[in-house]
Chain A
Amino acid sequence: MTTGVAEAGDAAVVAPSAAALAPAARRSRRLPAALRALRPVALGLAALVLLAALWELVKAVVPEDGWSIGELRVLPRTTDLAMPHVSEMLARLGEPLTSQPGADPLWLAVLRAGGTSLRIAAVSWVIGVVVGFALALLMTRFRVARSAVLPLVVLSQTVPLIALAPLVKGWGAKLELGFTWEPWMSVAVIASYLAFFPVAVGALRGLTSPDTLHRELFAGYAASWTQELVRLRLPASVPHLLPALRLAATSAVLGVVVAEVSTGMPGGIGRMILEFANFASSDPAKPWAPIFGAVLLGLVASGAVALLGTALRRFRRAEVAA
C-alpha cells in the first residue's frame, strides 16, 4: 500500500508525528481544564470583594440621607440602619439567632433553612428538566407541535408565580394521590414552572441544531428517528442544553424562595427572609443573612450544573470546518 507518504505528509501539517502529537495535545487540554474550572471561582470571589468595596464606598461618599434631585431620591439612605457595614453583617452571622440562651448561631440557622430550600429546588429542577425536555422532544418530532406548543410555552412565563401559588396549593389539597400533599410539594411544583422554560427553549434549539449535512448523512444511512435522536440530536444539543440547565437551576432556587413566601411554607430561606425583615430597625444586619443565604443557594445550584458540564466535555468540542 502507498499510504506511508501521504500519512507522513498530512501528519506534518499537525505535528511531527502522531506519537508526539498525542501526549502534547492531551497535556495542553488537561492543564488549562483544571485552571479553567478554578477561574470562575476566583473571578466570583474577586467580584464579591469588589461589591463589598463598592458598598463601603457608597456608604462613605453618599450622605446619610441619600442623594435627591428635587423630590426624587436617586441614591438610597446610607445610614447604618439602611446599609449596615459589611463587617457588621459578617459579624452578625456568627452571633446567636436570638438572645435566648442556647440559640443556634445565625449562620447555622441560615444554612439549615438553605438546605431545606435547596432540596426543594433540586426536586423542582428535576421536574422542570423532565417536563421541559419532554416538550422539546415533542416540538422536535412534530412540526405541528412546535407551532402549537412554543407560543404557549412562552406565554406561560407571563403568568406571575404569585398568582399560581394559591391555585397549586388548592389543587394539591384536592388531589387523591394516595399520599398526603405536603406544602413543600406545592413549592416544588410552583418553582418548576419557572425552571422548565429555559430547558424547553434550550433543548429545542439544541435538538434542532444539527445542520442539513448531518441530517442527510443519517438519512443516507436510513437511520430511524430514534437512532437520529440518540446518535445525532442529543449529542449535538449538549452545548445548548448546558446553559439552559444552569439557568433552570437558578430559576428553581428563585422560584422556591418566591413560592415559600407566597404559600407561607415555613422552614425555608424564603420564609426566613420574610420573617427577618421585621428586624430591620432593631437588628439591621440580621435581614441580610438570609439574603446572603439565597445568593449562596443560587451559586451552589449553578455550580452543581457546571460540574455536569465538565462531565459532558466531549460533546462540547467545537464543530470543525472540513
Chain B
Amino acid sequence: MTAPTTAGAAAPGTPGTTAAAVQVSGVGRVFPGEGGRAVTALEHVDLTVGAGEFVSLIGPSGCGKSTLLRLIADLDSPTSGSIAVFGRPAREARLGHDYGIAFQQAGLLPWRTVRANIELPLSLHGVGRGARRERADEMLALVGLADFADHFPDQLSGGMQQRVAIARALAERPSLLLMDEPFGALDEMTRERLQSELVRICAETRAAVVFVTHSIPEAVFLSDRVVVMSARPGRIAGIVDVGLGRSGDRGDGLREDAAYFAAVTAVREALHGGAESVPSRGVETR
C-alpha cells in the first residue's frame, strides 16, 4: 500500500482538522415522566465549540447542563436534533475514545492506587505496560501528585482525588475534555488553585473543554466563552464572549482585572434574564 499523497486530506473527523470539537444542532431532550408528565430538559439547543476552545455552561440547577454534557458524551441520546464531535456522530466519537470526562464526584476506583486509576483508560484500550507507566508518570507530574502514585484514593483529600480524576481524563490525550462541576464539592481555596491548574493544563494540552459549573467567577476565569442557560425548558439564553486572552496567559492576577469584573457582570445579567441591558460587548442573545 502506498501512503495517500494528498497532504492535509486527513480522514474526516480526525481531531485536529477543521471540524469543530463539538457541534450541537437543534438538540432537544424530553424525559418521559410519570403519568404522561414529560420533562423537557433541553429544547432547540445550538452550540459550537471550536477546537481548543474552553466553553463553560452555566445556569440555574435543573436547566439541563448535565443533560447537555451527557448528550455530547453519548451517555444519553437526544430526542431531536444531532450532535457531532470532531465531525462525527457522538456515538462514534465515544467508541473512538475522542474525549476525556470528569464529574463532580472524582469516581476513583477505591481498590486501585492513584497510578492504577490514571492508567485505567489506557489499560482498557490496550496500551502496553511500559507506555502506560510512562504516561501515568507524566500525568502525575502534570497534576502535581508524583509523590502519591502508590497511595489509595481513601488516603487523599477531596482536592487531590479530583486532580487524579482530571489526570485520568487527560491520560489519553483527548482533544476534548468534558467536565461536569468537577470542583463543585471542593472548598473555595482548593477550588481556585485547581482552576489555575486547569488553565495551565489546558494551555499545555490544547484540548477543547466543555465545562459545567454554577459559579459565575469560575466560568469567567476559565472560559473563552460562557454559555448561559435558562430553565424550563432548558435553553441557551445567551453567550458571553469573555475574551480575556488565551488560556495560557491567565494568572491569579486576572481575578482582580477590570475586564474580568465586566465579564462577571455580563454573565450575571444574562443569567437574570436582563440580557438587553448588558453592555453589549460580546453578548449575543438568542
Known contacts A1-B141, A3-B141, A214-B109; A322 and B158 CB within 8 A of each other: yes
Segment at the A interface, from B9-17, B148-156, B276-284:
B148-156
Q: B144 touching A14 by the CB < 8 A rule?
A: no
Q: Which residues of A contact B121 (CB under 8 A)?
A: 221
**A319 cross-chain contacts in B, Cβ below 8 A:** 110
Q: Given A5, A227, A315, which contacts B111 in the complex, CB threshold below 8 Å?
A: A315
Contact of A3 among B143, B148, B150, B154 (CB under 8 A): B143
Contact with B along A292-322 (1 / 0, CB 8 A): 0000000000000000000000110111111
Q: A320-B161, A322-B107 are in contact. Are A231 and B124 (CB under 8 A)?
A: yes
A7-B147, A216-B75, A221-B121 as given contacts; A322 in contact with B94, CB under 8 Å? no
Interfacial residues of chain B within 92-116, with CB under 8 A of chain A in the complex: 94-97, 99, 101, 103-111
Does B73 interact with chain A (Cβ within 8 Å)? yes
Q: Which residues of A contact B124 (CB under 8 A)?
A: 218, 221, 223, 227, 231
- CB-CB under 8 A from B163, the residues of chain A are 10
B266 within 8 A of A: no
Please name all residues of chain B whose beta carbon is closer than 8 Å to the beta carbon of A314 when the two chains form the complex: 111, 152
A255 to B75, CA, bound (A): 47
> What's the Cα separation between A17 and B148 when bound, in Å?
10
Taking a contact as CB atoms under 8 Å apart, the answer to whether B155 and A14 are in contact is yes
Binary CB contact string for chain A from 78 to 117 against chain B (1 if under 8 A, 0 otherwise):
0000000000000000000000000000000000000000
Q: Are A217 and B144 in contact, with the CB atoms below 8 A?
A: no
B105: nearest chain-A partner, CB-CB? A322
The 8 Å CB contact of A320, one of B103, B110, B196, is: B110
B residues 193-228 in Cβ contact with A at 8 Å: 193-194, 196-197, 200
Give which listed residue, B75, B193, B197, contacts A220 with CB less than 8 A. Answer: B75
Question: Contact: A320 with B147, CB < 8 Å?
Answer: no
User: Using Cβ atoms and an 8 Å threshold, which residues of chain B touch A213?
Assistant: 103, 105, 107
A158 contacts the other chain (Cβ, under 8 Å)?
no
| Complexed CA–CA distance, A238 and B194 (Å) | 34
A62 within 8 A of B: no
A221 to chain B, nearest CB (A): 5
In the bound complex, residues from chain B placing their C-beta under 8 Å from that of A232 are 109
B140 nearest CB across to chain A (Å): 10
B145 within 8 A of A: yes
B120 interface contact, C-beta 8 A = yes
A76 at the interface (CB under 8 A from B): no
Q: List A contacts of B160 (CB < 8 A).
A: 10, 13-14
11 pairs from A and B in contact (CB 8 Å cutoff) = A1-B142, A2-B200, A6-B197, A7-B145, A21-B151, A216-B75, A221-B97, A222-B95, A222-B97, A317-B152, A322-B107
List A residues at the B interface (Cβ < 8 Å): 1-7, 9-11, 13-14, 17-19, 21-22, 25, 213-214, 216-223, 227, 231-232, 235, 238, 314-315, 317-322
Q: Apart from A6-B194, A322-B106, what 14 extra A-B contacts exist at CB < 8 Å?
A: A1-B200, A2-B196, A3-B142, A10-B144, A25-B155, A214-B107, A216-B103, A221-B97, A221-B125, A232-B109, A314-B152, A322-B105, A322-B108, A322-B185
A-B pairs, 3 with minimum CB distance: A3-B144, A18-B147, A322-B106
